[in-house]
Amino acid sequence: MLNNFKKAVVYKFKEHNKINGSLYYAFEYYCKLKKFTDIKFYIVGVSDSDFIMVKNAFKDKYDTNLIDSIISILPSDLYRLKLDKILMINVLTYDYLRGFLTGECHVYSDEYHDNYRPKIGSVKYYGFYDYQIFDIKYEINLNFEIFKKVTKGSKVFISAPKIESLKFPREDNYIFKDSKKISSNLFNDIYKIIYVHQSLDTNNRIIPEGFYLNKEVQLINRTDIIDSTLIRYKNLVDKKKDYNLKDDDLLIKEFK
């Protein structure tokens, strides 16, 4: 039975990209917020089998007892909840569900959008980079507080577009993005990341994760695009930022 809970993190499940960075970000923000306030995490439009898959992926990656508190619902259920305050870590979630939301929405602008403004309720967009549309300047972070410790693997992860990845030799110790060898927690298997930067990455996670988990990180830059990948890499190398989600983070304070 659904409870009328006032504050929530909401995520629209992606059928064709089931386990992705936005999903991880959403859960990480939920875990941080749960320390300070009563809040729920709703995944909308996920099948029973995919819901189990998501929870298992979280169990492999995170050390937290909050995984079983996640709730799977339908859009119509979301409308009946009448939430007062909602956090969404990607624009797709808001675009898909905004007709079911009448409260105060806070949306991270991970992608370009139409800058929609509702007649009922409100929305504030957050972003940091030039390619984002936003009301409030804000850089998304990772909740390293709940990350599991990882082992030092023996393999190298190649994060590159398919054409670029073909330039690397097919060695046994290489793992590629499209490889079936990727485990649910990749970082247990690798000691190094080679990231080929060739196109816009709006919300890069793997580089700050690699630095935090003490993996070697090599960036091969093949574009003039200034995006989250390049900026985060340079800041981490120069030790200007660690991209760790703090208790006094702007979005966290907004929901306390």
Q: How does pLDDT run across 131-181, given as a tens digit for each residue?
A: 899 999 999 999 999 999 999 999 999 998 877 777 887 778 899 877 655
Residue 137's beta-bridge partner residues?
127
How far is Cα 111 from Cα 252, in angstroms, rounded to an integer?
21
Task: Enumerate residues 6+ apart whose C-beta is below 8 A from 106.
Answer: 85, 86, 87, 88, 123, 124, 126, 251, 254, 255
φ/ψ (deg, to 5) at 159: -100, 100
pLDDT of residue 32: 99
Say whether pLDDT at 3 is over 80: no
pLDDT of residue 5: 61
pLDDT of residue 183: 59
Q: Which residue has the tokens 């060739």?
A: 198
Structural element, H or E, at residue 4: none
Say whether pLDDT at 103 is over 90: yes
With cut-offs at 50, 70 and 90, classify the pLDDT of residue 74. Answer: very high
Q: How does pLDDT run across 10-40, given as a tens digit for each residue?
A: 999 999 999 999 999 999 999 999 999 999 9
- Residue 4 burial by CB count (10 A; 0-12/13-18/19+): exposed, middle or buried? exposed
Say whether pLDDT at 1 is over 50: no
DSSP-based three-state secondary structure for 187? helix
Average pLDDT, the chain: 93
How confident is the model over 116-137, as a mean pLDDT? 94
Q: How far is CA 30 from CA 37, 52, 114, in A?
A: 10, 18, 26
pLDDT of residue 182: 55
pLDDT of residue 165: 77
Q: How does pLDDT run across 37-71, given as a tens digit for each residue?
A: 999 999 999 999 999 999 999 999 999 999 999 99
Q: How does pLDDT run across 230-241, given as a tens digit for each residue?
A: 999 999 999 999
Structural element, H or E, at residue 133: none
Say whether pLDDT at 191 is over 90: yes
